[in-house]
Amino acid sequence: MKQKILVWLSGWVDSAVTAYLLKNAWYDVTAGFMINYLAPEGEYCPTLEDIEVAREVAAYLNIPFFTFDYIEEYEKKVLNYMYEWYKNGITPNPDIMCNSEIKFKIFLDEALAHGFDKVATWHYAQIIEENWIFYLKKWVDTMKDQSYFLAWLSQYQLSKSLFPIGHLEKSEVRKIAWAAWLPNATRKDSQGICFVWKVDLSQFLEKKIEHKVWNIVDTSGKILGQHKWVFYYTIGQRKGLDIWGLKQPVFVIKKDLENNILVVGTSQDMDLFQDELVIKNVNFLSENLHFPLTWKAKIRYRQEDQSCEVIDLKNAKYRVIFHEKQRAVAAGQICAVYDENDFLVMSWIIE
């Protein structure tokens, strides 16, 4: 009997090729479009356009097409999480939360409840199964690999998921789309973050977090300008500071929430660098790890792998010591640790 697969069909070429490959591999394929966010009237939002493109692709492939309305769940699990973390001076990662709480939880649970065996998405990463253990491995193009955004998934979620294009180069995916005459073969790739699309993030946050203007200062306390509110800024941020007349670029190095003061410094300012993290609430994707581990880690997407050592401090706490100091370590982001074969073994939210 064919396995029943629910494909997340987003309207973009990657998801169309995912559905096409699965159908050609003789799976019983159904397309599902997740409606997670609709912008207020008068604001640009690609969702309605994406639905129509996805529907056209499903019709071309002759597979069933359904929409799933997760607007309420998305607001609770992702949007409110973003607002609350920003108000507490933490920079969240909505893509990671969306993957772990929406795509591979609510969407997955609903798929299984309707008799599907697995869900399939177009993420550029690989799931490797060995002896009933499911490993998450980097995509073939490690600089554009998306395993970082999947770092908070569980063994169960990986066991019920497929990434059919995770072994293909991006250029190959586009060639497959052209050769198959898929309706969206020439559609440009999405550059949006989860739901925000090309909306300015500060404008988005202003819907729930009001302005409270105060000072931007350097490390000596000299006033250089003013900001909207410290909540809007991220450690290491350079753009959007609106400071003029300086001889060299400055970056956010500290957010004083109590006094609403933003502290900036140059790229050489030592307050911008640190060489270790103490971590807890770790998500393990590999078993029988023997500490200390000498592997590699990244603290943001598209960062090159950084050599590090991970030490078990007991009581579910661990210390990560980087061989080179790391710039702009931001609370709320994910630190992901990989082994020598590019398998993601553990991750956690930086506090």
Q: List residues with catalytic annotation.
A: 98, 194
- Candidates 23, 50, 16; CA nearest to 174 is 16
Which structure tokens are listed for 334? 């994910």
Strands 133-138 vs 317-327: parallel, antiparallel or unpaired: unpaired
What single letter denotes the amino acid at residue 107?
A: F
How many CB atoms are closer than 10 A to CB 144?
13
Q: Output the DSSP codes for 220-237.
A: T--EEEEES-GGG--TT-
Do 147 and 166 contact (CB within 8 A), yes or no? no
> Cα 349 to the chain's mean position, in Å?
12
- Candidates 63, 67, 64; CA nearest to 23 is 63
CA atoms within 13 A on the CB side of 247: 0
Q: Is the peptide bond before 292 cis (omega within 30 degrees of 0)?
A: yes
φ, ψ at 340 (rounded to 5°): -70, -15
How many CB atoms are closer than 10 A to CB 308?
24
Tell me the sheet residues that pair with 317.
Answer: 314
